[in-house]
Structure 1
Amino acid sequence: MNRSRSPLRHVLWLLLVLGSQALANWQDALPGARIVGTGEFRVFGFDVYNARLWSAAQPFASDQPFALELIYQRRISRDDLVQASVDEIKRLSGAAVSAGQLAAWQAQMQQAFVDVQAGTRLTGVYLPGQGARFFVGQQLQYEVKDPAFARAFFDIWLDPRTRNPELRQQLLGTAQP
């Protein structure tokens, strides 16, 4: 009798684990979030990703929780994503971020990011005063508990000095038609 219950216990345990993971999605941190703006990032005419900025604060407020969702259109390695992020943080932050701090953030991004291919959805959630959570699809990949990192990372897209001001305006919903 105990043997017949064993498979049932395993199935119930599996359902419990899968069910609890399904509840842990990025929208849980942003109840009532709506799309603020959308845009596309292209390099030399090639689609890299589609972006969507989500927030419950209307109008958008960068000091409130928000999510930046990137839906990739091509294959890019984790290492390339991390290096591009490090380069932009360094460019925007300058001397305000030490080499040691940047190296620590790089190590955290190595854990937060994955290799992507067309259709991969990565979402970063900004939590003011706490840090950032990174999701692959709906699954939590990694949490960085460092508010300075979170601000520096999302500034890649939202700082007025971003490399792509048109995408920034589209995300913020301020682009001219």
Structure 2
Amino acid sequence: MRRRILVFLGTLLICLQSALATETIVSSLPGASVVGRGVLSYAFWDVYKVTLYARDGRFDFNKPFALSIEYFLAISGKDIADRSMREMRKQGFSDAAKLAAWHEQLKAIFPDVRNGTVLSAVYAPEQQTTFYNGPTIIGTIAGDDFGHAFFGIWLDEKTSEPRLRRALLGLS
């Protein structure tokens, strides 16, 4: 009986965190609705579910939008930052000084995640990217260069996950 209660409370907490993250995006991005969503999987493991939000559900890289990622596995914040940098480099971003600075910022921003953790990022063109853990702001990084490089991981034509990109953009 005790185990069932713990499982129920854990499930409730995961649902609550996801709902709070969605509420945070909608309040940060008035008129936002889902453009698309998909799951990143490797071999037999689902790693995370990612959802793209934009005003009126219409994505435009030159207008505010947000990505929300619900993790299904435990991953260290450092590993998330490291992988983000590798993906930015794969897309051709090569300014070593900026990449090094962003890497340090991302390592400081990203927490360790576990099943049910929801991290979100809201992009405000010509301003900044704001990161959230559930409803809590955990950091910001200024500039369009960063925004395009970071969100390009999922949304650029050169992404390493074209099927996921199509799902996010509502093309599949």
Task: Output the TM-score relative to the length of structure 1.
Answer: 0.81
Measure how far apart 1:93 and its partner are.
Answer: 2.3
RMSD: 1.4
**Among residues 107, 112, 115, which one is paired with 2:109 in the alignment?**
112
TM-superposed deviation, 1:57: 4.3
Distance 1:33 1:26 in 2: 8
What amino acid is the match of 2:164? Answer: L
The list of structure 1 runs, each at least 4 consecutive aligned residues, that deviate by more than 6 angstroms after superposition, is none
Runs of 5+ unmatched residues, structure 2: 1-22
Query: d(CA) in 1 for partners of 2:133 and 2:57?
Result: 26
- Larger Cα-atom Rg: 1
Contact in 2 for aligned 1:123/1:136 (Cα 8 Å): yes
Partner-residue secondary structure (3-state), 2:121: strand
Give the 3 Å change call, closer, same or farther, for CA 47–58 of structure 1 in structure 2. Answer: closer
Tell me how far apart the structure 2 counterparts of residues 79 and 127 of structure 1 sit (CA, whole Å): 25
* Identical aligned residues as a percent: 37
Change (3 A) 1:26 1:34: closer
Match of 2:50 in 1: 51
**1:64-83 pair list within 5 angstroms:** 64-83=63-82
Aligned counterpart, 2:11: none
Aligned residue-pair number: 150
Amino acid at match of 2:40: F
Structure-1 residue corresponding to 2:7: none
Equivalents in 2 of 1:150, 1:106: separation in Å?
Answer: 13
> Does structure 1 retain, via aligned residues, the 8 Å contact 2:25–2:32?
no
Distance in 2 of aligned mates of 1:110 and 1:26: 22
Give the match for residue 33 of structure 2.
34
Letter of the structure 1 residue corresponding to residue 105 of structure 2? Q
Per the alignment, residue 25 of structure 1 pairs with 24
| 1:134/1:142 contact within 8 Å kept | yes
Aligned to 1:131: 128
SS in 1 for 2:48: strand
Instruction: Give a deviation string over 1:3-46, Cα, whole Å, max 9, x none.
Output: xxxxxxxxxxxxxxxxxxxxx93333201100000100001120
